[in-house]
A and B are shown apart, each in its own frame.
Chain A
Amino acid sequence: MTNEATSAMHGLIQQPVWGVEITIGTRLSMEFGDEMPREPKHGQPHGRWHLLLLNCHWRIEDSKSVLVGSDDDDLMERIPRLHFGKVSKIQLSQPTNDLEIVFDEGLRLVTFLTYSLISSESRQWYLFCPDDVVWIVEGGGSVICKNRYE
């Protein structure tokens, strides 16, 4: 399943990043690619890919320093100051399926698994894809694929 997820994510390479913001708590939302129109009942427009970091820890850094960490107090103010550019590399680290995305303006986003077991609170991150598929990493690092409407 990890190989399939990695293959699906290759579509993100060279996609522009936009709409990076905190939704609530430490939850980071990040859009990739063209904005896709949606029916109003399905909420605001998203990119062709939409990454939602849920209960994982995460960090954004450049080659010299850590720029923002998920436990920082002022996430909502600091995130908008960052410029990501396009995705230049994406991979899943084993065995945890932690996500690493490198951006062409020199930033790097990494996630850190925080739950060893699957539970209602252990969801680490979601990646919504153009074909209505959602890749999900849960506690223990298990990766699953679901349809967004289930």
Chain B
Amino acid sequence: MSPDPSGLDYADFSNPQTLNLYAYAVNNPLRYIDPTGLVLCDYGSSDQGGEDYEDADDNNECTSNGGSVVTVQQNITVNANNGSGADTSSSDVSSLISNVANTGSNFANQTLNWLAAPRDPGCMAGYAAGGAAAGAVGGGIAGGIVGGAGGTLVAPGVGTVGGGIVGAGEGATVGAQAGFATGTAVGFIACSKGSGPSSGSTKGRRGNKQADAAKAVAERETGKQMTYDQEEIFHEETKHVDYSEGDVFEQLVQIAIGILQR
């Protein structure tokens, strides 16, 4: 077995199988054929009139029989059929540059879409509040130590206590602000629609993760830990989630909060 002779020149980042140099026809032989090792011909499913592997020996035959040559390898196909192999003509180079540019553009668009996507408010609030609380505790302890040390230098005893108290208060405030900002930033990543537990799909193991995440958010927001009895009830009530209505993750969080507050 040898790797694809074209290397990664025609890799398409939107299709990870094209990165696998040992896969035949992007690991989908029911749909594509690759007679020369350099062409990827798309025939769709067999019941759409695609031709047999042994007949697809040139580019025209591929397209005239209902198939379509996958774009990024078209130039290679033509050259291979002329017996000259892959060349580096200006049209090929410009095509390659165009493909790379398109890939970059697609990536940029996907990134912009992700940045602009709405975030689940409940999820964001949970992360922000958690960050603020953690920051306040950490800042308070650090501030208390620093303040106490400073107070000791000025007036051991009273100064130590006073400095510690003042330092703890200041530290908690600063820590809470920093923690809020950090929590919000983490939440921005974790709470994006379609890429985190707040996504609408609850099928398969993703649904399990959503339920676990919703339980964790509810416990954090209420400051209560679910008992096993409550967890049993939670699972009963997840059966009543309305998948056609709004944000499923938010519904799960509300169910969990309702159970914890009974």
Please report A residues at the B interface, Cβ cutoff 8 Å. Answer: 21-27, 29, 41-44, 46, 50, 52, 54-55, 70-71, 73, 120-121, 126, 128, 134, 136, 146-150
B211, B212, B232, B252: the one contacting A46 at CB < 8 Å is: B232
Cβ–Cβ < 8 Å partners of B210 in chain A: 24-25
Query: Can you sample 18 A-B contacts with CB below 8 Å?
Result: A23-B238, A24-B207, A24-B252, A25-B205, A27-B235, A29-B236, A41-B262, A42-B229, A43-B232, A43-B233, A44-B236, A50-B232, A54-B208, A55-B205, A71-B204, A121-B212, A128-B228, A149-B229
Min Cβ gap B238→A in Å is 4
Whether A24 touches B212, Cβ cut-off 8 Å, given contacts A41-B262, A71-B204, is no
Contact of A24 among B208, B216, B262 (CB under 8 A): B208
Contacts of A52 in B (CB 8 A): 232, 235
CA distance A41 to B236 in the complex (A): 12
Q: A27 and B211: CB pair below 8 A?
A: yes
The interface residues of chain B, by DSSP majority, are classed as helix
Quick one: given A120-B212, A150-B228, are A23 and B202 in contact (CB under 8 Å)? no
Is B48 part of the contact surface with A, judged by Cβ < 8 Å?
Answer: no
Q: Tell me if B212 and A146 are in contact (CB < 8 A).
A: no
> What would 20 more interface pairs be, CB under 8 Å, given A44-B236, A128-B232?
A24-B210, A24-B238, A25-B204, A26-B207, A27-B238, A29-B235, A42-B229, A43-B237, A46-B232, A54-B208, A73-B203, A73-B204, A120-B216, A121-B208, A121-B209, A126-B228, A134-B228, A146-B228, A147-B228, A150-B228
Residue of B nearest to A150 (CB): B227
Q: Check A149 against B227 for contact (C-beta < 8 Å).
A: yes
Q: Which residues of A contact B233 (CB under 8 A)?
A: 42-43
Name the distance in Å between B128's Cβ and chain A's nearest Cβ: 20
Q: Which of A21, A25, A44, A70 has the most CB of B within 10 A?
A: A25
Per CB-CB distance, the 9 closest pairs between chain A and chain B, nearest first, are A25-B207, A43-B233, A25-B208, A24-B238, A23-B235, A148-B229, A148-B228, A24-B207, A134-B228
Bound Cα distance A149, B233 (Å): 12
Q: Evaluate contact between A21 and B239: CB separation under 8 angstroms.
A: yes
Q: Which residues of A contact B252 (CB under 8 A)?
A: 24
Among B211, B228, B237, B252, chain A packs the most CB atoms within 10 A around the CB of B228
A147 surroundings in chain B (CB, below 8 A): 228
CA distance A139 to B233 in the complex (A): 23
State in angstroms the CA–CA spacing of A26 and B236 once bound together. 14
B241 within 8 A of A: yes
Minimum Cβ distance to chain B for residue A81 (Å)? 18
